[in-house]
A and B are shown apart, each in its own frame.
Chain A
Amino acid sequence: MKSQVIGYYSTPFGELWNKSLFDLTTEAVMGVLKNSDLEKNQIDAVFFGNMLGGILENNLHAGAKIADLLDISMPIFRVEGACASGGMAFHLAHSYITSGKGKTVLVVGAEKMTDVNTDQIIQGLMSAASGEEQECGLTFPGLYALMAREYLRKYSYTREHLASVSVKNHTHAALNPLAQFKNQITIENVLTSSSVADPLGVLDCSPVSDGASAVVITSDSNLMKKHKGITILATEIATDSISLLRRDSLTEIRATQEAASKAFSTAHIAPQDISIAEVHDCFSIAELLAMEDLGFWKKGEAGKQALQFESQREKGMLTVNTSGGLKAAGHPVGATGVKQIGEVYLQLTHQAGARQIKCDNTTFGLTHNVGGSGGTAVVSLFGV
């Protein structure tokens, strides 16, 4: 069954003091309905990606809350998979359509992170790690730092290789009006930024952000004819142990490899067919691992390729994270997975403004959304 993404809306990402979680959610829902030229009654269900609403503000039962705010009464599902909440919501929305339960579904991801102080956020995010990891004080930067140290040692790389990821993503974000950080940075800036979890510094880490993003997907042939949409070729999920301790490797995320392998197989395309990708750079190391796990770069080579800025706009065949990635566009946890899909949608429909890459009707796009230190991975593939 053919299905498409036919509309997208995102709030800016950043410190949005005036907006609550549900202000942002409502804005994204109303925005995407407007951009898709749809009425509320044309939607069959809503999938809502959010991680921290329960922990930070005692706000659960989000489905009923959204129904209340929008005055709707269709099925609404909250989906949680740590930082993969948005991608997972999209995956489930797609399954809802392909199983015939509905034809047009709205996916919205949202997060409000700036109402509490930093150490409370750190603790909230740690809920995506195992009990043992939490008990010894391993924070999220800490978990990825363990991976980064081993990756740098194994392939004889330095912090510069990691830093180049952040530099590239800031360069892209400078062209994204919705990005949290639009400033260019240098490798030197990253290396001298304050330490967060050695060897990761502040500028190796995605920020704390507020924001909401929404897409509409449909299998309704009339709506697909009416809109310039992008076709969903595949969306696959894989799960691995929550705990880094029980993974086979510190330098690979098997969940990404499995989700990608399933997605490419379903869509009958290969990594080398992808021209535009949004990958999960929660930390600089995460993008290097992703480029290898997704099959774009050979194992052990990502550091070298990244330092040559091979995946920057107008460099080569594959451009990665034109939105600015999580690092520079911002990372409101539940929204990110949806924003990634939105960015690929904008690129493939020639609406990406100053950061547009060359696309035609043979161009394929990929989104990659990870939960925790690799416990969940969602990979989705799109074509024109």
Chain B
Amino acid sequence: MISPVKVWRRQKTIRDLLGKKGSVVSWTRIFTPPPQFRHIAPYWTVLVELTNKQRICAQLVDFDFHNEITKGMKVVVTLRKLRESVSDDVIPYTIACRPV
């Protein structure tokens, strides 16, 4: 079980990031996941610089992977449920980036 208190604390930071825009600095596709991401592997992770110069990392979603990710590609921060928890647990939503 993921501690509900930890999820609750994290939500404040996540809320502040939602809707923020930025551009891709670097990226990778991960083939060897930890257990909690096994169900969506392989997945793309991007390192993004937001317009306020803050850097974040997140999975890249809603992107047609037949296209190529490019440095400088414009993205926006959105909310996703990327992790599973047990059925009666607080859902650990997290941020993801999608192309603008």
Interface positions of A (Cβ within 8 A of B): 118-120, 122-123, 126, 132-133, 135-139, 141-142, 145-147, 149-150, 153, 194-200, 244-246, 250
Contacts and interface: CB of A to CB of B under 8 A. Distances in A.
B27 A146 contact: yes
The winner among B34, B38, B95 for most chain A CB atoms within 10 A is B34
Contacts of A119: 32-35, 38
B8 interface: no
A interface SS class: helix
The winner among A139, A153, A250 for most chain B CB atoms within 10 A is A139
The winner among B56, B57, B58, B71 for most chain A CB atoms within 10 A is B57
Contacts of B82: 136-137
A250 B10 CA distance: 26
Interface string B23-47: 0011111111111111000110101
Contacts of A133: 57
A147 B95 CA distance: 22
Contact of A196 (B31, B57, B95): B31
Contacts, number: 90
B33 A137 contact: yes
Contacts of A120: 34-35
Interface residues of B, number: 29
18 contacts: A132-B57, A136-B57, A136-B59, A137-B30, A137-B34, A137-B43, A138-B57, A142-B30, A145-B28, A150-B26, A153-B71, A194-B31, A195-B31, A196-B30, A197-B30, A197-B31, A199-B28, A245-B56
Interface of B: 10, 25-38, 42-43, 45, 47, 55-59, 71, 82, 94-96
B33 A250 contact: no
B34 A250 contact: no
A316 to B, nearest CB: 32
Contacts of B58: 136
Nearest to B13: A132
Contacts of A246: 55
A250 B26 CA distance: 9
